[in-house]
Every structure is written in structure tokens, then in C-alpha cells.
Structure 1
Amino acid sequence: MPHSVNVPTQFNQLPHAGVIPRLISLIYDALIVAGLWMVYGFFAMLVASTFGGLNCQPDQLDYNPCVSGPLYQLGLALVTVSYFIWSWRVAGQTIGMRAWRLMVANSNGMQLSWYQCVIRALVGPVSVACFGLGYLWGYFRADRASWHDLASDSEVRQLPKKKKEKKL
């Protein structure tokens, strides 16, 4: 059952996030995902070379037998999708969204369900793969919704800046 643990109480009064901050936060997240891919690749190579009986050639810098093929690619996709789904479900934000003060929730201002997160994760790459048209769609809508927002019944809002406390 969805709940609003991390979602601000006035979520629906916050302004809709613009296309540019959303794309920039996606670039931040791409850097995080690249790091996760490196960790995954290290462990995949370690497991494959130790237990898989594959013929890795580190002295010739040929790691293809250890970390290539459809199983490895599937693992990369699962790492990527898991990062986004977990971030949206648990915190309503990825690391890139946090840096740009963006938050995602459903249209009622409640935390996304697992189903909504999966739909966002599946439609999001399509939004990017079509030359970014899924994101640019937001320029033509008052609510700035992209294709994956519409498909998952979710909204991305811009959080206010935190006020700095004056020191005495």
C-alpha cells in the first residue's frame, strides 16, 4: 500500500520540474550507473573467471570471454533498472534528482508503487531512445510530463531550496 513517508505534505503545490533539470539529473545518474557497472563488471569477471572455467586472458587484456554475451548484458540492465526502481520507491529520488531538488510521486502526491516504478523504468529508456522525444514532450504540456510520467501516472516536482540558518 503506498504511503507518503518521504514525500512532502504539500507535494501537489510544488511546481512541476522542467525538462532541462530532469535531463541534467539524468546525466548525474548516468555517472552513478557507470560506477555501478564497474562494480558489477568486477564481480562478474571474478565469478566468471573463478567458477565459470572461462578462458580469460588478462595478460593480453582480453576479458571478452569473461564479461561479454547476453547474460552479462542482462546483468548490466538489471543493475541499471534496480538502481532507478529502488531509488524511486524508497526515497522518491535518485542521486541525480536529489542534487537538482527533484522528487517523483504519483498524481496524488503519494510514494510510487513498485508497479509504477517498473513502468517508469521500462518506458524511460524509450523516452531517451527516441532522440529524447519522450522528455521533450514535456515542453508541450503544462504539467511538463514526459512519456514515462504519463505511462506510470507519476509526476516530477521541483523541491524548494532549503533556507540557510543565520549564525549568531
Structure 2
Amino acid sequence: MTAAAPEAGTSTPDSAPPRPLVGWRLLALFYDFWPSLALWMLASLCFTLAYTVAGHHDPHDNIAPLSGLQWLLWLVCWLLSGVYAVVSWRRGGQTLGMRPWRLRVAGADGGAPSWRALCLRYLVGTVSLLVAGLGFWWAWIDRDRLAWHDRASGTRMMRMEKAQR
């Protein structure tokens, strides 16, 4: 007797979950830009109010370009985005942008990754974006479809099966 082949779209217990395509990763990143933008706007408002209350400038003027305060604001915005991503990955393996595409971050063994691994993932992911997204495009030629931040942190992005109704 022969065993019945699994239906299309399902995985067998010994098969690995499908790896997400680069396009799905980029779409999830685009979706996650919007909650990050909201956090950046909130941070900018706090900086502007603090700078104005301290009496350093007229509230209608912008923060001086490339001043120390502007660099601090950039750092705070980057950290806020990192907190959003790392906490989301740690709590459920997904950010808001990853949910529509059924993407999930997991450790190499399939379990929950450590805080350290997730922070490293965010740091290397930032570098990947800063070099024109080369770290993301790398997944096209990688045999396991892993981006730089996947390899460096020991995490994996997986595509979950479609929920049955």
C-alpha cells in the first residue's frame, strides 16, 4: 500500500514550514512603517514641546538641522521602532505588518527566540536596509532563503499555514 500524499498547501510533520518570499517580507516591512511613523510623530511632538517649554526657540521654528538634539531625536525614533519590533516578535512572533502575510519570527529550532537574538536581528536588519536593502535581497540567492539578519541572529522567518474555516 502507498501512503496518501498530503493535500496541496499542507505540510507533513517532518517537512519544514515554507520560507517566505522576499516580496512578502518587504510588504510586511511597508505595513510596519505606519505604526513606526506614528511613534516617530509622537516622539517629535515630545521633543518639540520640551524644546519650546525650555525656551530655546520659537515653537514655529524647526529644530536646527544636524544639531545634537536632532541626532538624539533620530536615535530615539530608531529605538522606538526597535522596541516595537522586538517586543512584537517576542510576544507572538509577529508585528502588525507580518500578520496579513502570515509571517512569524522563530528561533532556529522553531521556538521563541531570546531577547538578545531579537535585538541583534533588529540591529543587523537596520544595517541591511541602510545598504540599499542588500541584506534583504540576499535572501534571493541564499539556499535557505535567509536574510543577513536571519543568519546573524539565528532566527528564521516562517510563513504559517492558512487557518481552516
TM-score (norm: length of structure 2)? 0.82
User: Which structure's CA Rg is the greater one?
Assistant: 2
Can you give the 5+ residue segments of structure 1 that lack an aligned partner in the other structure? 1-9
Can you give the 5+ residue segments of structure 2 that lack an aligned partner in the other structure? 1-12
Letter of the 1:29 counterpart: D
Match of 1:63 in 2: 62
The superposition leaves residues 35-63 of structure 1 with CA deviations (integer Å, 9 ceiling, x where unpaired) of: 1111111122223322x3321332xxx13
- In 2, are the aligned partners of 1:124 and 1:148 still within 8 Å (CA)? yes
Secondary structure of 1:105's match? strand
CA distance, structure 2, for counterparts of residue 56 and residue 29 of structure 1:
33
The percentage of aligned residue pairs carrying the same residue is 35
- In 2, are the aligned partners of 1:56 and 1:64 still within 8 Å (CA)? no
List aligned pairs for 1:130-145, cutoff 5 A.
130-145=131-146
TM-score (norm: length of structure 1)? 0.81
The superposition leaves residues 66-104 of structure 1 with CA deviations (integer Å, 9 ceiling, x where unpaired) of: x95222222112112111111111221111111211000
- In 2, are the aligned partners of 1:128 and 1:135 still within 8 Å (CA)? yes
Q: Note the aligned Cα RMSD (angstroms).
A: 2.0
Greater RCO, CA 8 A, separation 6+ = 1
Letter of the 2:62 counterpart: Y
How many residues get paired? 150
Letter of the 1:146 counterpart: A
